[in-house]
Chains A and B, each alone.
Chain A
């Protein structure tokens, strides 16, 4: 069964339940069920691989013991068990003393989870559907999970309301490939959503993991923060699927709610890779956590201020997806851009065409690549072209990773040597940017497209007259034939 059919089947069952109200609750219900199943699969694995592994769950709370058997407990008995035994016990793992890191993960997921279903029989049907149709162990493609999220977002119909968009896999992959994180470097996504960037980074780092200590390093260096409970739950599950056994560095929190000055040197990271929510507005008071020069309600700007603050001096590097609005905007945005030019090396801006984030939004976006330490000398712009024959991207014709071969070939390696001006790429000096009052949008228009070469009117007129003559000949010939048809009969 395909993912979309599976989700639909489960939702159809839940619709019959009087306790579940609306898609949001249905989704949240599916998510904790999936989490328990995946956690159980993982435990089977750890029992073999982790010496002395002991499950933080009492035996009767393990998925394989209460859910797996299709003929297991159902009806009143099942609901009673879930509400009065399972949930209280799992929630306790978040705060109780002496809980193993594995247990903490379960606790943090269940802190915000809730069983909405009232009918035990229907819950049993849902469990059996999940049990018979989902097997993440055999799935070669772990990105299946991202598909689930996308389907969920589409169903929630709320995608974009708070500026949250699912970042297309091609974009995350390209950004990770370019930043090229090394094992031991801390990688962070301060608005990690369901963990798309982080899992991509993990896959990138995996070839460098040789032994158990390496694996622990990987686990310790992947950081993420997500504000909303549902994506956070999905992010934890997602990371577990990608081999981070204890994703305790994925925190459920609003990164912006901590005053900027409280982030000290130990919070600094090597690599930040993110697509901050844009167009969103933060609650009152959040902006007071920021120095006055940055104060704004626009979420994306606050994130930019934070990202710039969090990067390590001299080694920190980042890739951030931002809308065109950031490039031409003024006010706090001008301050941010001035600092990007003066204190960072904003070396490259890849301008993505509209439709990359379809169907959530059609706005045009950019990927900003910058490093902390040296001031900017030149900014290279690269305008990503649509593939031949495309007018826009869409759900059925998405952006694909191989399209970025253009950028990669041009990039010039980690040192960015030998970059050339092409029809897609051009260079702008920091001085020109300052002169334009940091309007990166105006200055970042592809100069090669503005020039329309019309040719000489006299030459074009000759061509025009040539076509007209051909047209007359063709038309006369056709007319003659048709008239002959008529003449023969009339």
Chain B
């Protein structure tokens, strides 16, 4: 166990708290307490998860694990007795929360109001469930606290007393939120009651938390406030600035509610900090944000948990106190990191089965924490519930009504079976989304297929299934599903519309003539932008960027404020190599949503293509600062760093990429190259080469377009060969390429291969001379590779070795498997050798300094090109290594090409006497 950085920690959850709201309030001096905490500690964005549903996310915060592991998958769960559905319970969680772990380590822990936490667990401190603060019934005879709301029993009486009924509140409590509350007719406008209810429940949680802090010993306390989320769902539409379509009177009445909610939380925070004291580490976090601006959707989807569309992908985190760095910005954090950070602060190991990492940027330690396999394997009393323990289902009704009132769930169907089926369907859907978010597409696929088969009229299932198939590379099936989804939606929409007409007629309503004559085209027109975006996205996946552009540009005209639309536009422009347009599109996405990690990542790819490596590095870093879990972005950052000569940085980025995506073959290959040629770590290079050999085919990790020369036939063969392992590839299908800069030893290598028993493809048109006394071993048609059909001869190279100079490698035709033996030699020697050769031929006139720069740049590009093409394998060999140790070099070549070589004969080719340029460059005035 490492040394603890703190002895006491307070974790405060503010559901939906968003820096976009907080920062302006802090700047205006309206949240002074939080401001003080931010200035004295560390803070930053906290990336949320998908689906952005609070019970799922608060459980992920408390466990450090994704929902497929912790088991809480929505707002409701079926009752065990089959009588219907109930709010999700604490017994749904099947792994330890941070408070269970801390209790096992002897720390006194209290948990107040967490979601979900009913029935209350039996910790060694006070546990108050999320059913505690809902009150119903008249103010003088309210419904009692549901059984199981509070543990231990000895504190139940006082805590019952601390519950606040909404009707207790007076004008003094409401007017700070709604200044002209007295003028509102509450018989017609129930919103004042809503403000009262949210405020009363919030104050109830706060009263309970402060009572526990004042009267009980504690080492860890977790308190959860849901009020900001509720204020936002109810009243964010009235938050300034005024938007068209909002009732002006309602806007005037309720425009201060959301700000009021935030300010109330700041006031409550003051009391919490007073009671916690300066020796307590404080962490405040939210599970997601809430769009306060133009990003707010005007219409919510008509589906369960539709209000979650108002959530923003980034929550907030602010930490202060012992163990926390001062005045620090935290980057790349997610809500999965909270529990690992808390464990680190207490000097406890982090579990490998946790999906988050400790936020070491924000804590005062530079050493990595200890790791254990899993806290689930650590035995001992931890307070977790026996799954058999359930609460009184009738007592949970108030909580259910709360969820209905918020719009998160439909009113329960009278038919219990239908309700349970609906609950199970949604749970399955949320689990599929959890897998999609984790990039576990194979696990998501069967769930989405079941959902789609059962309910093809639900566009959300079809869209996600198509997306999943696309990510798995099954574009044809993705197209089929998309076509079915659109057709089914159209049919369903038409049926619903006709049903609406019929019902209106039965009621005797008068409909305008044009309402009766809506056609399918009219319905399509109303939903065209969404369908255009869907079509455009799929056409991009089908490698039809020009067609995709047409749909996307049309969608742009209809919905100019969709950042995801501009990201797709950027991808389309990238594929047709309109880099400037791509850059503009990604910038447009960032104008709309400055926190778009995907847009920054898109920019990084654009800049890599434009060879603006510094900007590529910065853009990739910005993307990762927002969303750390993105293996592709790490990969691209690595590429940019490599181009900038930051080899150590490139190494770290590639390692991050493979940590998040262990099957990313290209990252392993670039690490092999780095370790072999730049970081001088051959053992690490060999390790990664072994990993490459074992890898199954990876998904395409590069946003750069696939080579337009790839053929479907090769893809299947290539996939099969890569899956089977390199040694199973038929050598007669592989083309061995000997390459490098001119005068780097390529002729020597051709001779070596020939003597070793490899069949060459040469025509000996170029005869040997004093520069190459043993011959050039060239094949004349190679020189025409850059021309149209210049590679048509490549078929005859199968099973043979052919020499292709480095600059022509990118022009090799696709559709073949290549193994490239790339010769390397000191650039000075290469240039001198070329110079001498050209002097002999009376052609030497090039500025060698400029040539050196040009060669370096070319080599980098060529190396990058080969790394991006899985059909090309590369073995780098240094000219000197072959001269100094031919036997070892021949063994490496033999293993690489998968063919035994006559080592003795091959080694006889190596003639140190040919090495005529060595040392001579030391006197060369140009090269020095």
Do these two chains interact? no
